[in-house]
Chains A and B, each alone.
Chain A
Amino acid sequence: MIGRASAGSKASGAKVPAPVDARGRTLPKQADPAQPLLAVDDLRTYFDLEGATVHAVDGVSFNLQQGEALGIAGESGCGKTTTALSLVRLLPSNARIAGGSIRYFGIDLVPKSAEALRRYRWREISIVFQGAMNALNPVHRLRDQITEPLMERLNLSEAQARKRAGELLELVGIPRKRGSAYPHELSGGMRQRAMIAMALACDPAIVIGDEPTTALDVMIQAQILELLERLRRELGLSLILITHDLSVIAETCDRILVMYAGRVAEEGPVGEVFRRPRHPYTQKLLSAFPNIQADRRTLDVIPGSPPDLRHPPPGCRFAPRCPFVMPVCSEVIPPEVSFGGVRVACHLYPSGSDGTPAGMLAPGYEAPAAVAAPTVAGPTVGAPAGFAAPTVGTPAAVTHPAPVEPPTGGSLA
């Protein structure tokens, strides 16, 4: 466990005892420890693009509690990375936060000036970037890259910073002596560990991992996820993991937030959402995921592609690709409905719903057999003819509840 190195110097300057969080970390003076760690409400981040506006994040809300791990999932372009970058305001120059609030222990970060926000970035919320393996400076030794922000941000002396850099490296499983290595001397997994060490340097409350294991081998991925889990347990960190890889979220997170086209499709505890996906998009996403535990060649396809966010469709943004689309879907934006810890934005679940889909085209996993029956069983059109399906009778024999095959899609078999 690492103490906050700067705590002493900061406390001495304050008249009133500074607020502390559950881990005993000193918080900014305006912070209210009774408030949730992070409360994002109706966040809107737009990109200005040659006269058009891309609604990359368009009304996203979620909370993060202390010690919790939240996974944000979705396809490329669904706004998950933009959401993360908005939290630490590291957005490209043509992006702007157009509305909503990001409250850190009650402090709204959105109206803060760029200068004021520096107090929060890295020290309260830090981020491990996508492709972090290539984010290290190739001409500096690892240790120097970690000591620099420590000296800069926490005003540590060089000796203190070096000592702390050594501790950080050991914390993430890199022997202290490897600190003198240059990035090219380290493997991908080691570099990723070093990036995590840098994100932990200022002892933040929240670490955001943006696709932290995407470029890594499965075995190294398993090691890194194990490391993140251990750090969360030992340091009481709160994690936001952004990934398109649902299995990473299944392995490490408490809650999952599924985004589609800049909005929240579904949010809930990992166990509940993976076992009983309510939103048709979540169902599709799960059944499109290759699963070594499940039968072979039962992969689902999501037909079509995500909408152009310069001109998002009115109503539900998933409507053009949804197998259960109803007339109302293309006209009215579905409200977010909560039941039993799950939040879904889909017209199958009108307000007051208990989580049982309404409407005649109910998803098969809950609908009576009579509703599910008419769907074509067996090889669908377009399936390779000379291709022997392994289990002919049970085309949808997957271990997680799969939706009935929509007429437009079809399984790999």
Chain B
Amino acid sequence: MTDDLLRLDDLKVHFPIRNGFVDTVLRRSHGVVRAVDGIDLTLRRGEVLGLVGESGSGKTTTGRVIVKLTRQTSGTIMFDGKDVSNLRGTTGLRPYRRRVQLIFQDPYETLNPKQTINDFVMEPLIVNGLGMDGADRQRRVFGALEAAGMRPATDFAFRYPHELSGGQRQRVVIAGALVMGPELIVADEPVSMLDVSIRTELLRLMLDLRAERGLTYLFITHDLSLAWVIADRIAVMYLGKIMEIGPAERVIRAPHNPYTQALVSVSPSPDPPTAGTRAKRTILVGETPDAAHVPSGCRFHPRCPYAFDRCRVEEPPLFDVGAGHQAACWLAEGGRSLPVLPPHQLGEVAQPGLAADAEVVPKTAAAEALAPAPAAAPAAATGASDPPQPTPGA
């Protein structure tokens, strides 16, 4: 038993682009979509790792690879010290899938409308031949339902999904995962479809279950504030790469990657904005490029307010910035923290123009100020709580 429950090494998932039937038959492709493009990730036993990214960042694909619903193109997946990258077939996958379960986003579509709750939760037991007999299975089903907060289980077990509220349905989905007694749960946007008040209950349930059963979660979400609330560590993905990873407190309070910085600045907050907070927002222009055309160098550079020459040609690795915190940005090299630029020089919503193909040249006053810096700049202390004051043009 190792401390690391799951380790991904240089994981890549590339989907070939095939136009139509002929391509499929001939196995011919017109380039690839680099959904996941070389990530290293470690999940420690008992932790909640929040995997955050926009649509198209590859976060869901990463989750699907971990539960073996999608095959990786290359790289390895180590689970509990064993290489599970190439598990195949019933005999190989079943023992693994008992230990690793997936919770999908949409409780309305996950449940079969014609199946009772009881049948839904029991099905994996039957498929996997778990439980000694019918009575034992039934006990496990009721146990899982009650663990998921459906108490008493007999009140709910024989209902159909349409008789339940959204929150209750998601509890049923969680029960369906729990009934297998998993160690790792990959939760893909588990609360995104739910109301705010119900979300909290489910997040609490997930944390309670972790405490009771020692579960480990990979919590996939597009909502940084949800990850902030539930995760011990946060990994931020952009276009198939991890841009930043570290303890939640550090990633949110002292982001070392401009992308994370922008995400934090636009993250919804119920505090009414003042002129100050509004000015601090960095709304990036344009949208995430599609993963079939990944930009050269740092893949974030076309939208990055800090981008300089090196970013356009050379991809930054994850630099250690202290306290288990890493960021993939040339500005973070040597553990330096990000400068804080005056807001109007950040990627403001300059033009309403939002061409999908917009190759937005970032505001350059900032970039110029920084461009000569990389090699010469003193390696500032890793304490990111004191980012240098803006000195553009200095």
Q: Are A189 and B200 in contact (CB under 8 A)?
A: no
Q: Are A244 and B196 in contact (CB under 8 A)?
A: yes
B196 contacts across to A, CB distance below 8 A:
75, 244-246, 285, 288-289
A275 to B204, CA, bound (A): 26
| Choice from A222, A227, A292 contacting B228 with Cβ under 8 Å | A292
Q: Is B378 an interface residue (CB 8 A)?
A: no
B287 contacts across to A, CB distance below 8 A:
187, 189, 219-220
Chain A proximity of B358: nearest CB distance (Å): 9
Q: Is B123 an interface residue (CB 8 A)?
A: no
A290-B228, A296-B248 known; A251+B355 contact, CB < 8 A: no
Q: Is A63 an interface residue (CB 8 A)?
A: no
A250-B272, A274-B271 known; A284+B208 contact, CB < 8 A: no
A189 to B55, CA, bound (A): 11
Q: Are A186 and B356 in contact (CB under 8 A)?
A: yes
Q: Is B150 an interface residue (CB 8 A)?
A: no
Q: Is A247 an interface residue (CB 8 A)?
A: yes
B262 contacts across to A, CB distance below 8 A:
219
Chain A proximity of B150: nearest CB distance (Å): 13
Q: Are A250 and B269 in contact (CB under 8 A)?
A: yes
A170 to B355, CA, bound (A): 10
| Choice from A186, A187, A189, A291 contacting B225 with Cβ under 8 Å | A291
Q: Which of A268-305 contact B (CB under 8 A)?
A: 270-271, 274-275, 284-286, 288-294, 296-297, 299-302, 305
* Size category of the binding interface on chain A: 35 or more
B3 contacts across to A, CB distance below 8 A:
none
Q: Is A137 an interface residue (CB 8 A)?
A: no
Q: Are B225 and A290 in contact (CB under 8 A)?
A: yes
A300 contacts across to B, CB distance below 8 A:
200
Q: Are B273 and A288 in contact (CB under 8 A)?
A: no
A188 to B56, CA, bound (A): 12
A178 to B353, CA, bound (A): 11
Q: Is A385 an interface residue (CB 8 A)?
A: yes
A386 contacts across to B, CB distance below 8 A:
211
A187-B356, A292-B225 known; A270+B267 contact, CB < 8 A: no
A271 to B271, CA, bound (A): 8
Q: Is A218 an interface residue (CB 8 A)?
A: yes
Q: Are B268 and A173 in contact (CB under 8 A)?
A: no
Which of B165, B195, B204, B270 has the most chain A CB within a 10 Å cutoff?
A: B270
Q: Are B270 and A286 in contact (CB under 8 A)?
A: yes
Q: Which of B197-242 contact A (CB under 8 A)?
A: 197-201, 203-204, 207-208, 210-212, 222-226, 228-230
B281 contacts across to A, CB distance below 8 A:
222
Q: Mark A173-208, 1 if CB is under 8 A from B, else 0.
A: 111001000000011111001000000000000000
Q: Is B314 an interface residue (CB 8 A)?
A: no
A385 to B210, CA, bound (A): 10
Q: Which of B284-333 contact A (CB under 8 A)?
A: 284, 287-288
Q: Is A76 an interface residue (CB 8 A)?
A: yes
Q: Are B203 and A76 in contact (CB under 8 A)?
A: no
Q: Are A174 and B354 in contact (CB under 8 A)?
A: yes
Q: Are A219 and B263 in contact (CB under 8 A)?
A: yes
Which residue of chain A lies nearest to B204 when distances are taken between CB atoms in the complex? A412
Q: Which of A324-380 contact B (CB under 8 A)?
A: none
A296 contacts across to B, CB distance below 8 A:
228-229, 248-249
Q: Are B354 and A299 in contact (CB under 8 A)?
A: no
Q: Are B270 and A291 in contact (CB under 8 A)?
A: yes
A223 to B230, CA, bound (A): 26
Q: Are B211 and A385 in contact (CB under 8 A)?
A: yes
B267 contacts across to A, CB distance below 8 A:
218, 292
Chain B proximity of A69: nearest CB distance (Å): 13
A242 to B228, CA, bound (A): 26
Q: Is B368 an interface residue (CB 8 A)?
A: no
Q: Is A248 an interface residue (CB 8 A)?
A: yes
B54 contacts across to A, CB distance below 8 A:
217-220
Q: Is B95 an interface residue (CB 8 A)?
A: no
B229 contacts across to A, CB distance below 8 A:
290, 296-297, 299, 412
Q: Are B271 and A412 in contact (CB under 8 A)?
A: no
Q: Are B200 and A248 in contact (CB under 8 A)?
A: no
Additional pairs, 12, CB under 8 Å, beyond known A244-B195, A250-B273, A384-B211: A189-B287, A193-B354, A217-B288, A219-B266, A220-B287, A230-B352, A250-B269, A292-B269, A296-B229, A383-B208, A385-B211, A412-B204
Complex A-B: 7 CB contacts under 8 Å: A221-B266, A251-B273, A290-B199, A290-B226, A290-B228, A296-B248, A297-B230
Those 3 A-B pairs whose CB atoms lie nearest each other, nearest first? A247-B268, A384-B211, A173-B352
